[in-house]
């Protein structure tokens, strides 16, 4: 089936919307046309004729494809950081259909001169746009800012199609004043910004404390729980209180700081600002199930309803990042993950099972209305599996 075909997914047992204000939808059928969601509802009320592809969900849960807000891709489905092949395909098997680069920092010999870093960002944006590993949307081309950049450089980058900035702090700019000026230029030309929050990640990166984060004023407080070294608790609480930016919690961070961020955000009624990433590949390796693990961690130890935790990795990220994915809503990209309670995992339902700290089993992924994977090779096996049936 091509991207222009009609896809019907019927017999959905539980439909998670990705929207934190209403995480569960009363529907059992989703139709996509041309790779976009066209209709959602009860199958009996929808026109399901003319489908090129029909998926019988077999009563499993459908959610928006998960978004990893913080990855460090380099080229294709290979990472030099841990000499690993097919890490993106493995992550798709963990339900992630969109990844957002926080900088292609693991490129050996990464250029740090201004013309060179601009050229690499533009090239990285292109090669992931032109060749999606296993269909995964890798939003890349995120330059790491260096001293000496001027407003015209950001205009040049934006004109060339660059929409992201790499983590501030991985380059020579580590002071709030310079960062704030460059973030302002980036924002003027539609480039989103993020920052490395916390202690150095690997030799060569630096400390970014709360004062630098606040002065920089990025759109995303990158790994607010550290990558891996977190800021002291009072600084994390201060960032939660002060920022209207996305509060990004990552797998490669400090788990206790993750829970502190979650609990603080909840007290401040800011759970809609919480988004999730892995920060992989990194020194900690790659985490094909990292986003599912964060959902289970925050739901179980952070006492958040599983359907709400899923929103952290879908609709919240889509809204904070201005993406057309991440929510089950007409007109959005038809990117889905179908999953069910894992075999022999405790809990009466998939949601209760996640709230008890268990991972769900992924049974299928769909991107732009096209089935990309069947039963995950990485998650625990799901109780029930969706199936493509004759149209
Ligand atoms: Zn970082």
Same domain, residue pair 372 and 242: no
Ligand 1 center–CA 315 separation, angstroms: 23
What SS3 string covers 342-364?
ECCCCCCCHHHHHHCCCCCEEEE
Work out the end-to-end distance of the chain between its first and last CA atoms, rounded to an integer number of angstroms.
11
Contact (Cβ atoms closer than 8 angstroms) between residue 332 and residue 36? yes
Same domain, residue pair 214 and 154: yes
Q: Rounded to whole angstroms, how far apart are CA atoms 33 and 333?
A: 10
CATH at 249: 3.20.20.140
pLDDT at 31 over 90: yes
| Strand, coil or helix: 182 | helix
Domain-located, residue 294: no
pLDDT in tens, 47-85: 999 999 999 999 999 999 999 999 999 999 999 999 999
11-20 exposure pattern, b = at least 16 Cβ within 10 A, e = fewer: bbbbbbbbbb
pLDDT in tens, 128-152: 999 999 999 999 999 999 999 999 9
Which residues neighbour ligand 1 (ion) by CB within 5 Å?
167, 196, 201, 227
Same domain, residue pair 59 and 85: no
Ligand 1 center–CA 272 separation, angstroms: 22
Ligand 1 center–CA 110 separation, angstroms: 16
Domain-located, residue 306: no
pLDDT at 163 over 50: yes
Same domain, residue pair 185 and 214: yes
Ligand 1 center–CA 223 separation, angstroms: 7
Ligand 1 center–CA 34 separation, angstroms: 37
Domain-located, residue 164: yes
Ligand 1 center–CA 23 separation, angstroms: 30
pLDDT in tens, 237-266: 999 999 999 999 999 999 999 999 999 999
Q: Rounded to whole angstroms, how far apart are CA atoms 80 and 157?
A: 25
Contact (Cβ atoms closer than 8 angstroms) between residue 180 and residue 216? yes
| Strand, coil or helix: 292 | helix
Same domain, residue pair 145 and 47: no
Structurally, the chain folds into a number of domains equal to 2
Domain-located, residue 95: yes
Q: What is the mean pLDDT of residues 320-334?
A: 98
Q: CA-based angle 39:41:47, to the nearest 5? A: 60
Same domain, residue pair 53 and 71: no
Q: pTM for this structure?
A: 0.98
Q: What is the mean pLDDT of residues 269-275?
A: 98
| Strand, coil or helix: 310 | helix
Burial grade of 351 (CB within 10 A; 0-12, 13-18, 19 or more): buried
Same domain, residue pair 145 and 260: yes
Domain-located, residue 322: no
Domain-located, residue 312: no
pLDDT at 204: 74
Ligand 1 center–CA 222 separation, angstroms: 7
Q: Quote the mean pLDDT of the chain.
A: 97
φ and ψ at residue 129, rounded to 5 degrees: -70, -40
pLDDT at 125 over 60: yes
Same domain, residue pair 79 and 42: no
pLDDT at 2 over 60: no
Ligand 1 center–CA 236 separation, angstroms: 15
Q: Rounded to whole angstroms, how far apart are CA atoms 116 and 337?
A: 38
Sign of CA pseudo-dihedral 165, 169, 173, 177: positive
Q: What is the mean pLDDT of residues 18-41?
A: 98
Same domain, residue pair 157 and 225: yes
pLDDT at 153: 98
Domain-located, residue 123: yes
Ligand 1 center–CA 50 separation, angstroms: 47
Same domain, residue pair 115 and 256: yes
pLDDT at 3: 55
Q: What percent of the chain has pLDDT over 90?
A: 96
Q: Rounded to whole angstroms, how far apart are CA atoms 186 and 158?
A: 8
Same domain, residue pair 236 and 255: yes
Domain-located, residue 318: no
pLDDT in tens, 193-243: 999 999 988 787 788 999 999 999 999 999 999 999 999 999 999 999 999
Contact (Cβ atoms closer than 8 angstroms) between residue 345 and residue 255? no
| Strand, coil or helix: 295 | helix
H/E element holding 173?
Answer: none
CATH at 380: 2.30.40.10
Q: Rounded to whole angstroms, how far apart are CA atoms 390 and 183?
A: 51
Same domain, residue pair 86 and 221: yes
Ligand 1 center–CA 376 separation, angstroms: 29
Q: What is the mean pLDDT of residues 269-276?
A: 98
Q: Of 288, 310, 336, which one is at a domain's C-terminal end? A: 288
Q: Of 235, 263, 288, which one is at a domain's C-terminal end? A: 288
pLDDT in tens, 340-375: 999 999 999 999 999 999 999 999 999 999 999 999
Ligand 1 center–CA 234 separation, angstroms: 20
φ and ψ at residue 9, rounded to 5 degrees: -115, 115
Q: 27 lies in which domain range?
A: 6-64+327-389
Ligand 1 center–CA 235 separation, angstroms: 17
From the CA atom positions of the chain, what is the Rg in Å? 20
pLDDT at 1: 42
Q: Of 288, 319, 346, which one is at a domain's C-terminal end? A: 288
| Strand, coil or helix: 286 | coil
Ligand 1 center–CA 162 separation, angstroms: 20
């Amino acid at each position: 089936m091509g991207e222009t075909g009609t896809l019907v997914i019927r017999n959905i047992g539980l439909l998670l919307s990705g929207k934190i204000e209403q995480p569960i939808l009363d529907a059992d059928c989703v139709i996509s046309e041309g790779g976009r969601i066209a209709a959602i509802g009860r199958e009996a009320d929808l026109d399901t004729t003319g489908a090129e592809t029909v998926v019988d969900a077999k009563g499993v849960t459908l959610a928006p494809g998960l978004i990893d807000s913080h990855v460090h891709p380099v080229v294709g489905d290979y990472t030099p950081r841990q000499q690993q092949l097919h890490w993106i395909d493995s992550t798709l098997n963990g339900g992630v259909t969109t990844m957002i680069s926080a900088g292609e920092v693991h490129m050996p010999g990464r250029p740090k001169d201004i013309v060179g870093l601009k050229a690499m960002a533009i090239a990285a944006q292109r090669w992931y746009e032109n060749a999606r590993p296993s269909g995964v949307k890798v939003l890349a081309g995120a330059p790491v800012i260096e001293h000496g950049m001027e407003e015209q450089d950001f205009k040049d980058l934006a004109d060339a199609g660059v929409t992201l900035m790499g983590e501030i702090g991985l380059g020579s700019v580590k002071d709030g004043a310079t960062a704030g000026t460059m973030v302002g230029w980036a924002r003027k030309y539609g480039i989103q910004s993020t920052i490395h929050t916390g202690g150095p990640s690997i030799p060569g990166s630096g400390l970014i404390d709360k004062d630098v984060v606040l002065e920089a004023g990025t759109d995303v407080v990158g790994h607010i729980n550290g990558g891996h070294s977190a800021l002291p608790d009072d600084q994390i609480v201060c960032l939660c209180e002060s920022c209207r930016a996305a509060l990004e919690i990552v797998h490669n961070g400090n788990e206790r700081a993750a829970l502190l961020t979650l609990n603080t955000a909840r007290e401040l009624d800011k759970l809609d600002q919480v988004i999730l990433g892995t920060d992989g590949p990194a020194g900690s390796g790659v985490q094909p199930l990292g986003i599912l693990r964060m959902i289970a961690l925050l739901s179980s130890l952070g006492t958040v309803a599983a359907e709400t935790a899923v929103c952290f990795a879908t609709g919240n990220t889509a809204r904070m990042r201005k993406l057309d994915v991440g929510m089950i809503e007409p007109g959005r990209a038809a990117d889905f993950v179908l999953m069910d309670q894992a075999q022999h995992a405790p809990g009466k339902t998939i949601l209760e099972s996640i709230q008890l700290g268990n991972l769900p089993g992924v049974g299928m992924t769909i991107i732009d209305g096209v089935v990309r994977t069947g039963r995950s090779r990485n998650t625990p096996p799901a109780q029930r599996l969706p199936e493509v049936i004759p149209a």
